[in-house]
Chains A and B, each alone.
Chain A
Amino acid sequence: MSSLPNPPGPQSPAGAAQPLPIETLLRDLAPRVLGVVIRRYGDFADAEDAVQEALVAASSTWPANGTPDNPAGWLVRVASRRMAEKHRSDEARRRREDLAASWSLAAPDPASGRDDTLILMFMCCHPLLSAASAVALTARAVGGLTTREIASAFLVPEATMAQRISRAKATIKASAEPFTLPSAATQTSRLRLVLHALYLMFNEGYATSSGPDLARGDLSGEAIRLARIVHEELPDDAEVSGLLALMLLTEARRSARVGAVGELVPLAEQDRSRWDRALIAEGVGLVTMAMRRGRLGEYQLQAAIAAVHDQAPRHADTAWPEILSLYVALERMTDNPMVTLNRAVATAMVQGPAAGLDVLAIVADRLADHHRFHSVRAHLLELAGALPAAIREFTVAAASTTNLRERDYLTMKAAALAAQ
């Protein structure tokens, strides 16, 4: 899928002793180094700029000069120098440079480094930020990606992305949030925002998966890597496990999802031999453990549904009654009409298309303008043999979707039924 190597996890080959590519090393070190610099200088926004400059300096000098013995210390030193340069007063500058020079000898404390990564995640997903800004800032401050990489992944000019990130940092600065782990209650609510940001990052990257869009595929790999980091920090949090499992179980199907000419291949028609068995095994293990542990959540349920799909050898073997009961549980937990929409599909598979259409009617008012409502209705009408109505619905769905590949697919479905 992407040029990113798989992050270390249960599925990595045992003999992982080969040297890490510099880019991977830098991304891993980024949050720890940033944590150290913030602790020393107390300014998140400036420290984040300084660390970004240090990362860029490292990626241009290390390949030629070799990776330093203490890479984290090197990055802290360079970032500290950048911080010092910001303070123009000669006296203050000399003092700070001396300080920077003495500090840089010590490598960051790995214990505080772990907490720092979590604190950074919570900061980057501040409730005052829009989701798009939180995702971009997390990718840079925690993920160690450059502005250029993030800009190209989101298909916006670098200058635009730089502004988006610097505005996000200004918002955080204005909130004057201290660089410490928040209270337990705040952690709980903030963790939801972190998981949501990672979920969006994953979707953004998963949406496209081949050819010139490969850079966006990296974004899913990044989201998985960051979700793994959160999972390492909070191994007992069932929803964190659930989200990571959901990503892995979805990622496993990526290569089967797009056909030869870039067209979308729906789940029912995918070549399951192309699914990634290792990712499926890891995802199933994670979600099974999480659900056994107790407190059920939305990500776990979504992951469980993905797991049932992924474990069916053929589409015809899908355990629809199990999927139906999971959607019923999910529906109780959320007020999301899209969940009801999916329950309608599962109901149709268990009890027949007429029963599915009945469930669909529940959300007809709320989803009248949504293309997914019309495409599900079209599929169920097709199953029920009501072809003229199905063609009409496919046509409505194609006209209302905002997804190019989906529009192609729906247009083709309508044409194929009309030709029958």
Chain B
Amino acid sequence: MRFMLLQNYGEVESHCAPMSEWTPQEIRAHIEFQQVLNAELLHLGELVDAQGLAGPDQARFVVSDGVGAPVVTDGPYPESKELLAGYRLIDVDSLERAIDIAARASAAPGPGGAPIMQPIEVRQVLGAPDPEM
């Protein structure tokens, strides 16, 4: 079963300061944590893909009627909290395992090494139907 674990820029449950106010060591520890988790998932044969996205400041919204020139809106946006920050695509045996991994990701370290408690959205990826046997 495939699951997408999504994380937004939204506020974290621990209400810690935004990353721009962390020390370099704290940021490095956080990045290392993400890399170690990805390496572990690869080692377990569960990782399909993991990516971080460029910040909301660089996001563009595109709207088109299919005829005229598209309307392109540059950032930054007041609603940046709702934007996607990154994702992990995993292939695991069960929803329970997906939730385990999401829990690990949620407890990534922040200021002082304390878990930031980031909400992780767990979504199953739609597959194809079973044969009508």
Asked if B132 lies at the interface with its beta carbon under 8 angstroms from chain A, I say yes
Q: Are B133 and A302 in contact (CB under 8 A)?
A: yes
Is B48 a contact of A156 with CB atoms below 8 Å?
A: yes
Evaluate whether A403 and B127 lie within 8 angstroms (CB atoms) in the complex, with A130-B93, A156-B91 already known.
Answer: yes
**Total chain B interface residues with beta-carbon distance under 8 A:** 19
A sample of 6 inter-chain contacts (CB < 8 A) reads A157-B47, A160-B48, A161-B45, A267-B132, A305-B133, A404-B126
Given A132-B93, A154-B91, A250-B133; A160-B45 close (CB under 8 Å): yes
Considering the complex, give the chain A residue whose CB is closest to the CB of B132: A267
Chain A at the B interface: mostly helix, strand, loop or mixed? helix
- Partner of A167 from B44, B93, B127 at Cβ < 8 Å: B44
- Number of inter-chain CB pairs below 8 Å: 71
**Which B positions have Cβ atoms within 8 angstroms of A?**
42-49, 91, 93, 124, 126-133
Q: Is the CB of A406 within 8 A of B129?
A: yes
- 10 additional A-B pairs beyond A157-B47, A160-B45, A207-B127, beta carbons within 8 Å, are A131-B93, A155-B48, A160-B46, A165-B45, A202-B131, A203-B130, A206-B131, A207-B128, A250-B131, A402-B126
Q: Chain B interface mostly helix, strand, loop or mixed?
A: loop
Q: Does A231 contact B (CB under 8 A)?
A: no
Q: Which A residues are CB-close (under 8 A) to B46?
A: 160, 164
Smallest beta-carbon distance A299→chain B, Å: 10
Q: How far is the CA of A403 from the CA of B2 in the complex (A)?
A: 12
Contact indicator A163/B93 (Cβ below 8 Å): no
| Contact, CB under 8 Å: B129 / A264 | yes
Q: Are B91 and A160 in contact (CB under 8 A)?
A: yes
How far is A186 from B67 in the complex, measured between Cα atoms in Å? 68
Which A residues lie within 8 Å of B49 (CB)? 157
Q: Is the CB of A246 within 8 A of B45?
A: no
Contact of A160 with B47 in the complex, beta carbons under 8 Å: yes
**Chain A residues within 8 Å of B93, by CB:** 130-132
